[in-house]
């Protein structure tokens, strides 16, 4: 693995490049980071930030237009609920589900990839065969089938979302581990008598973390899209809970008279996925530069 020869730990280099912390970072990436920071902040504190209870209905103030009233910055919806409050809580929900899903996905994928690499043989074939099969079918179809048979429940939904694209982590991890195993340091650790688990976690993982983190930045926005897609279809988050996809689905009915109901949550989705994708691309380019 070329990472072994990189002059610096890739993970550390991301946050703190050797030549000044922000030097050479394009403005667009700075903006992406800013947006991501805002979204994370919302995710942590939406309930305190929300000016109203997001379920609070005000029948006298239905379809208030956005940007005109200080009481409802982003207007109100068809039940007179405050859009700002709904948006904050929905962003939080979507973010939490995407985060939990991404972590589950990374955990399942890296573990299975590691198991495949460690045991080899029929175990390797079985796991990789399963991965190939998963990759061949659009995950939304698999998700719909599962939801059809087992119904929707929040827990099932999180795990289902977390099951999307695990095969990418598995393939990546397997490849990285197989090549890291050929590195002298892994063999040296084996000869010293370091237990296999410790070799994988303490010796290899830091060396292969870079590509896995990049994979995470690719996967995270996709999971946000999957969550909003399923919620949009009415198969994900169920009312009274709310999520960005569900808000878009609600707003869709009133597209002709209240465009903001679908547009605002839609914009949050797009800005978030776009920011993470661009940041991921940027990180990958920087890592690639280190590989050369």
Partner 1 sequence: MSAPLLKVSGLTKAFRHKTGFFARPTSQLAVNSIDLELAPHERIGVVGESGSGKSTLGRLLLGLTEPTEGDVWFEGVNHKERRERDWKAFRMRTALVQQNPLSALNPQMTVGQQIAEGLLVHHVCNRNFAYERAAAMLERVGLPGAMMNRYPHQMSGGQRQRVVIARALILDPRLVVFDEAVSALDVSVQAQVVALLRSLWQELDLAYVFITHDLRIVRHLVDRIAVMYLGRVVEMGDIRSVYAWPRHPYTRALLASVPSLDPAIRNIEPPIKGERDASKVSTGCAFRSRCPFAIDRCAIETPELRHVGGQQVACHLADELPKSIASPGGTLSPRTAVAQEMAL
Partner 2 sequence: MTAFILARFLRAIAVLVFTVTLVFIVLRLTGDPAQQMLSDNAGPEALAAFNEKWGLDRSIPEQYLYYVVNALRGDFGVSFADGREVFTVVAERIPKTLVVTVSAFILSLLIGIPAGILAAVRRETALDKSVMAGAVLGYSVPNFLLGLVFIFVFAVWLRVLPSSGSSTWNHAVLPVATFALFNAAAIARFMRSTLIDVLGQPYIAAARADGIPYWDVILRHALPNAAIPMVTTIGFVAGGLLGGSALIEPVFAWPGLGSGFVNATNTGDLPVVQAMIVLFTAFMVAINFSVDVLYAVLNPKIRKH
Q: How many residues bind partner 2 (CB under 8 A)?
A: 38
From 215, 283, 221, 214, select the one nearest 36 (Cα to Cα).
221
214 binds partner 1 (CB under 8 A): no
**Burial of 15 (C-beta count, 10 Å sphere; 0-12/13-18/19+):** exposed
Q: Which region, judged by CB under 8 A, interacts with partner 2, from 48-56, 60-68, 99-107, 145-153?
A: 145-153
Question: Of the two residues 96 and 140, which places its CB atom closer to partner 2 in the complex?
Answer: 140
Question: Of the two residues 73 and 254, which places its CB atom closer to partner 2 in the complex?
Answer: 254
**How wide is the angle at C-alpha 93 spanned by C-alphas 218 and 51, nearest 5°?**
130
274 binds partner 2 (CB under 8 A): yes
Q: Which region, judged by CB under 8 A, interacts with partner 2, from 5-13, 107-115, 163-171, 220-228?
A: 220-228
53 binds partner 1 (CB under 8 A): no
252 binds partner 1 (CB under 8 A): no
Question: Of the two residues 150 and 185, which places its CB atom closer to partner 1 in the complex?
Answer: 185
From 254, 252, 230, select the one nearest 243 (Cα to Cα).
230
Residue count of the chain: 292
Question: 141 is written with which tokens?
Answer: 């179809």
Find the largest Cα–Cα distance for the chain.
Answer: 76
- Smallest distance, partner 2 to C-beta of residue 251, A: 8
Question: Of the two residues 9 and 277, which places its CB atom closer to partner 1 in the complex?
Answer: 9
Name the CA radius of gyration of the chain, rounded: 22
Candidates 88, 273, 282, 283; binder of partner 2 (CB under 8 A) is 273
229 makes contact, choosing from partner 1, partner 2, none, with CB < 5 to 8 Å by partner type, with: partner 2
Task: Give the contacts of 59 (CB within 8 A, at least 6 positions apart).
Answer: 79, 80
User: CA-CA distance, 138 to 165, in Å (whole number)?
Assistant: 10
From 98, 136, 90, select the one nearest 268 (Cα to Cα).
90
Q: Which residues, numbered 59-98, are part of the site for partner 2 (CB under 8 A)?
A: none
Question: Of the two residues 14 and 142, which places its CB atom closer to partner 2 in the complex?
Answer: 142
Beta bridge partners of residue 82, listed in sequence order: 76
**Burial of 6 (C-beta count, 10 Å sphere; 0-12/13-18/19+):** middle
Contact set with partner 1 (CB under 8 A): 3-9, 183-185, 187-195, 198, 202-203, 206-207
Contact set with partner 2 (CB under 8 A): 133, 136-141, 144-145, 147-151, 221-222, 225, 228-229, 232-235, 245, 248, 252, 255-256, 259, 262, 266, 269-270, 273-274, 277-278, 281
């Amino acid at each position: 693995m070329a990472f072994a020869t990189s002059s610096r730990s890739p993970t550390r280099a991301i946050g703190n490049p050797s030549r000044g912390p922000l030097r050479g970072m394009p403005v667009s990436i700075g903006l992406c980071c800013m947006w991501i920071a805002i979204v994370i902040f919302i995710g942590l504190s939406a309930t305190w930030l929300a000016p109203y209870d997001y379920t609070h209905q005000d029948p006298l103030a239905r379809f208030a237009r956005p940007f005109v009233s200080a009481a409802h910055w982003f207007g109100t919806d068809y039940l007179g609920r405050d859009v700002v409050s709904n948006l904050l809580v929905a962003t939080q929900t979507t973010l939490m589900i995407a985060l939990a899903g991404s972590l589950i996905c990374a955990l399942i994928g890296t573990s299975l990839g590691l198991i495949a690499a460690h045991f080899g043989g029929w175990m390797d074939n079985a796991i990789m065969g399963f991965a190939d099969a998963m990759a061949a079918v659009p995950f939304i179809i698999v998700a719909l089938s599962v939801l059809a048979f087992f119904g929707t429940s929040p827990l099932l939904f999180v795990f289902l979302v977390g099951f999307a694209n695990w095969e990418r982590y598995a393939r990546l991890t397997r490849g990285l581990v197989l090549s890291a195993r050929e590195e002298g340091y892994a063999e040296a650790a084996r000869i010293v008598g370091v237990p296999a688990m410790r070799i994988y976690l303490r010796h290899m993982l830091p060396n292969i973390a870079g590509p896995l983190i990049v994979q995470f930045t690719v996967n995270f926005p996709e999971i946000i899209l999957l969550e909003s897609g399923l919620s949009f279809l009415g198969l994900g988050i169920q009312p009274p809970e709310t999520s960005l996809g569900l808000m878009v689905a609600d707003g869709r009915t009133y597209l002709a008279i209240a465009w903001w109901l679908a547009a605002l949550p839609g914009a949050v989705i797009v800005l978030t996925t776009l920011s993470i994708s661009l940041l991921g691309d940027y990180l990958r380019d920087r890592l690639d530069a280190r590989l050369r």
